[in-house]
């Protein structure tokens, strides 16, 4: 059945969307999104969903409001579920009521999905509570886009000037001088504290403070523009002690994550928890082999192996997916010793109910050989479920120890179907500070997608590598490794980025 969800996407931080809003995006056939809705939310839409940008900026409208209303009607009449994604809350100066009214006229089912309005969330991200005991017992949200000096005014500045509570003006930078003048004119103390916050809850968040008398000059001097909100009142002084968001270690950094689409979220979440903003552009994709004939033959005799060595989480997942397809379980694995290259691989195996007996302190193939060289006996059989393009050093060294090695290419790593233009646009227009690489393949594929001729686009970004193998691959391609993890894990990579950022801040 046709239905339109009018969804509040929150102020900028994509994690501030509600669970109900997220559910609506996931089941929508069509998503119409605004300029202030974080594009990251679009990755939760169906792969075949129609995505339409309907953003409106001053003097630059992709669609007029009437056109948006008709587009909603048109798409919904096609018996589709439509997600209308709007910044903030759809009913706080979001024109959601107008859109709902048009849907009602056409007898189209709709729901409002309230969002976190910027009126309270943006001040919170700047350490300003809109109400606070003994400071402000009320707050008032006012449009800032109405010219206070026009003859017919809907905003009553004479009444606002008499209020003791916090005044919050949305999208009012253009009229800030007139707003301040009108409030002072009707009796507001010219020394009343004012804060203006631009792009709140995002990497670009900036706040300036002053008084009604001088805030306009301060805003001009600091080049503060919309989207911004204006907060008038003594609560703004509390930000001196309550600021938290822009104090995070990686605040202001934008990081490009090149892991597979499925794995990117773990790294992104850790970086975002430290205040960074992430952009995901997978340069590697995990693919099943085209032919399982040899793999299945080895699988069915895996109880004959003395060792099974896993060198990645992808290897573990792909191995057990194939076991499931063959209707096999861990009882078929026999008594072989289990070895994992590192903690993430170990965790993945233990989730499957296996106990890992051996894991090296240094998470690379050479360290595995060093760890088990005195334990493996000549003639023992070793199974290596791993990528089709994995390094051969492990096979070679195990054979030198007299082992019989079966290399099982249980998954393939390929370059995803990514557009060069999309990557170039990401690098040109997103001010990427750091680019992360978690394997040699992610580096090589990145340059394959980007093109040798476009490597100059990396000059302003720092390249972060998960370990020496990845760093060597980067150097072979003529790239500079600025950050390298001491511990070859996602946590190790994040720590290296934190340490680099801290040193960079000291030297700034």
pLDDT in tens, 166-190: 999 999 999 999 999 999 999 999 9
Looking at every residue in the chain, the average pLDDT score rounds to 94
Q: Which domain holds residue 128?
A: 120-245
Same domain, residue pair 372 and 410 = yes
Question: What pTM was estimated for this model as a whole?
Answer: 0.85
Q: What is the pLDDT of residues 404-458, one digit of tens each?
A: 999 999 999 988 887 899 999 999 988 999 999 999 999 999 999 999 999 999 9
Same domain, residue pair 364 and 438 = no
* Active centre residues (catalytic): 34, 56, 171
Same domain, residue pair 357 and 319 = yes
Last residue of a domain, one of 414, 449, 473: 414
Same domain, residue pair 188 and 202 = yes
Using an 8 Å Cβ cutoff, are 37 and 6 in contact? no
Q: What is the pLDDT of residues 6-61, one digit of tens each?
A: 999 999 999 999 999 999 999 999 999 999 999 999 999 998 999 999 987 666 66
Q: What is the pLDDT of residue 449?
A: 95
- Segment 397-409 shows an average pLDDT of 95
Strands (E), 323-439: 337-340, 381-387, 404-414, 434-437
Q: What is the pLDDT of residue 45?
A: 96
Question: Cα dihedral angle (100, 103, 108, 111), rounded to 10 degrees?
Answer: -10
Last residue of a domain, one of 377, 392, 414: 414
Same domain, residue pair 159 and 226 = yes
What is the tally of helices (H) and strands (E) in the chain? Answer: 18, 22
Same domain, residue pair 97 and 35 = yes
Residue 449 buriedness (CB in 10 A; 0-12 / 13-18 / 19+): buried
**For residue 224, is pLDDT > 80?**
yes
**For residue 132, is pLDDT > 90?**
yes
**For residue 200, is pLDDT > 80?**
yes
Q: How far apart are CA 180 and CA 212, in angstroms?
A: 5
Same domain, residue pair 376 and 427 = no
Count of structural domains, the chain: 4
Same domain, residue pair 423 and 278 = yes
- Between the alpha carbon of residue 422 and those of residues 280, 284, 302, 324, the distances in Å are 12, 15, 44, 37
Q: What is the pLDDT of residues 329-357, one digit of tens each?
A: 888 998 899 999 999 999 999 999 999 99
Last residue of a domain, one of 376, 395, 414: 414
Same domain, residue pair 207 and 325 = no
Q: What is the pLDDT of residue 1?
A: 78
Same domain, residue pair 174 and 211 = yes
């Amino acid at each position: 059945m046709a239905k339109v969800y009018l969804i509040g996407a929150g102020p900028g931080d994509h994690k501030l969307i509600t669970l109900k809003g997220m559910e609506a995006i996931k089941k929508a056939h069509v998503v119409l999104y605004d300029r202030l809705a974080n594009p990251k939310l679009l990755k939760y839409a169906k792969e075949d969903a129609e995505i339409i940008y309907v953003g409106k900026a001053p003097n630059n409208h992709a669609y007029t409001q009437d056109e948006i209303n008709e587009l909603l009607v048109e798409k919904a009449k096609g018996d589709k579920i439509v997600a209308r994604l709007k910044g903030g809350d759809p009913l706080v100066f979001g024109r959601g009521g107008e859109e709902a009214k048009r849907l009602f006229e056409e007898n189209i089912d709709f729901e409002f999905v309230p969002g976190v309005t910027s009126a309270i969330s943006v001040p919170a991200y700047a350490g300003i509570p809109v109400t606070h005991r003994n400071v402000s017992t009320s707050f008032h949200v006012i449009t800032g886009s109405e010219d206070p000096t026009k003859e017919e005014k809907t905003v009553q500045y004479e009444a606002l000037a008499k209020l003791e509570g916090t005044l919050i003006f949305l999208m009012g930078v253009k009229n800030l001088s007139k707003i301040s003048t009108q409030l002072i004119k009707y009796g507001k103390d010219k020394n009343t504290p004012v804060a203006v916050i631009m792009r709140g809850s995002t990497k670009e968040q900036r706040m300036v403070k002053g008084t009604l008398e001088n805030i306009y000059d301060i805003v001009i001097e600091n080049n503060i523009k919309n989207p911004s909100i204006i907060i008038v009142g003594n609560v703004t002084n509390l930000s001196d002690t309550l600021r938290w968001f822009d104090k995070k270690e990686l605040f202001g950094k934008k990081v490009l994550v090149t892991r597979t689409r499925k794995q990117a979220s773990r790294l992104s979440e850790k970086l975002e928890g430290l205040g960074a903003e992430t952009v995901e552009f997978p340069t590697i994709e995990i693919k099943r082999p085209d032919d399982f004939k040899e793999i299945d033959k080895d699988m069915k005799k895996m109880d004959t192996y003395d060792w099974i060595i896993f060198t990645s989480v992808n290897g573990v997942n792909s191995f057990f997916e194939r076991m499931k397809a063959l209707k096999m379980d861990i009882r078929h694995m026999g008594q072989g010793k289990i070895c994992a290259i590192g903690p993430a691989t170990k965790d993945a195996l233990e989730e499957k109910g296996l106990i890992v007996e051996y894991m090296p302190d240094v998470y690379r193939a050479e360290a595995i050989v060093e760890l088990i060289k005195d334990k493996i006996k000549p003639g023992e059989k070793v199974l290596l479920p791993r990528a089709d393009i994995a390094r051969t050093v492990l096979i070679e060294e195990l054979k030198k120890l007299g082992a019989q090695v079966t290399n099982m290419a249980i998954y393939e790593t390929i370059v995803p179907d990514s557009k060069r233009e999309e990557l170039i646009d990401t690098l040109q227009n997103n001010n990427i500070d750091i680019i992360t690489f978690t394997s040699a393949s992610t580096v090589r594929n990145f340059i394959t997608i980007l093109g040798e001729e476009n490597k100059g686009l990396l000059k302003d970004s720092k390249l972060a590598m998960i370990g020496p193998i990845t760093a060597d691959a980067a150097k072979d391609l003529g790239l500079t490794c600025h950050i390298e993890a001491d511990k070859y894990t996602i946590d190790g990579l994040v720590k290296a980025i934190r340490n680099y950022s801290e040193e960079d801040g000291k030297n700034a």
